[in-house]
Amino acid sequence: MQYELEFPCKKEDLAPLRAGDTVLVSGTIYTARDAAHKRMTELLEEGKPLPFKLEGSAVYYVGPTPEKPGQVIGSAGPTTSGRMDAYAPRLLDLGLAAMIGKGARSPAVKEAVVRNGAVYLAALGGAGALMSGSVRELEIIAWPDLGCEAVRRLRVEKMPLTVILDTQGGDLYQSGPAAYLASLGSSQG
C-alpha cells in the first residue's frame, strides 16, 4: 500500500502502516546524526529542553552536502541508522514518532518502536539527489558548529520512503527476504 503522511503526526496516523508499505512524507522533519544525538542526550541528562519538540516528530539521519546556488539543500541521502541505536529507544520513549535512515536496527530499537507505536522508514541509499528534491525549506536550528551534522528543520514535500519497522513489530528486513525466498520456491514447484 502507499500512504501520504504529514509530520508532525499523531501515533494513530502510523497505526495502519505495515512493513513494505511506501509513504510520501510531507511537513516538518528534523535532521540529526551521531554528534547531534550525543548532544541531545547530554541535554536530557542535564534536564534541559531539546532543540525541537519530539512528540509526533520525525528525525532523518542525514548529513547533507552544501547546497549549490539556487538549491535549498545539497545531496541528502540517508546515513546508516544503526549508529543512532544507542540513543533511539530513549527518544522514542519521549515521543519521537518516526526515524528515517537506512539499514537494520537493533532489537532494543525494534522493541521501542512497537512499545511507542512508532515507525522506522528507509530512504533510498545512494539517491541523495532524489531525497534532496523533496526538501522545500531548510533552517539550521541547533549546533551549527557540527557542520553537516547540525540539527536542521526541513520542510519536505512527498519525500518517498519505505516502512521498514511498523507499529506491530513487522520488519521488512526479515519479511522481505522470506517472501522472496518463498516466491522462488513456489515458482520452481
Using one digit for the tens of pLDDT, what is the confidence trace for 137-156?
999 999 999 999 999 999 99
SS3 96: coil
Which residue segment(s) compose the domain that 39 sits in? 2-188
The CATH code of the domain that includes 130 is 3.20.130.10
Query: From CA 9, how far away is CA 35, in angstroms rounded?
Result: 26
Would you say the C-alpha torsion 161, 165, 170, 171 has a positive or negative sign? positive
Grid cell, residue 18, equals: 505495515
Position 135 scores a pLDDT of: 95
Position 187 scores a pLDDT of: 62
The whole-model pTM stands at 0.93
Q: How many residues does the chain have?
A: 189
Query: From CA 134, how far away is CA 129, in angstroms rounded?
Result: 9
Would you say the C-alpha torsion 106, 53, 102, 2 has a positive or negative sign? positive
* Span 4-13, pLDDT tens digits: 999 999 999 9
Q: Name the residue among 124, 110, 5 with its Cα closest to residue 56.
A: 5
Position 186 scores a pLDDT of: 66
CA distances from 85 to 79, 111, 139, 182, 189 (A): 13, 12, 25, 31, 41
* Span 18-75, pLDDT tens digits: 999 999 999 999 999 999 999 999 999 999 999 999 999 999 999 888 888 888 998 8
Q: Which amino acid is at 136?
A: R
- CA 152 to chain CA mean position, Å: 14
Residue 164 has pLDDT above 90, yes or no: yes
Query: From CA 113, how far away is CA 94, in angstroms rounded?
Result: 12
Give the pLDDT mean for 157-166.
Answer: 97
pLDDT class of 181 with cuts at 50, 70, 90: confident
Q: Name the residue among 141, 165, 152 with its Cα closest to residue 72.
A: 152
How many domains, the chain?
1
Position 24 scores a pLDDT of: 98
* Span 61-113, pLDDT tens digits: 998 888 888 889 988 989 999 999 999 999 999 999 999 999 999 999 999 99
Position 5 scores a pLDDT of: 98
Position 179 scores a pLDDT of: 75
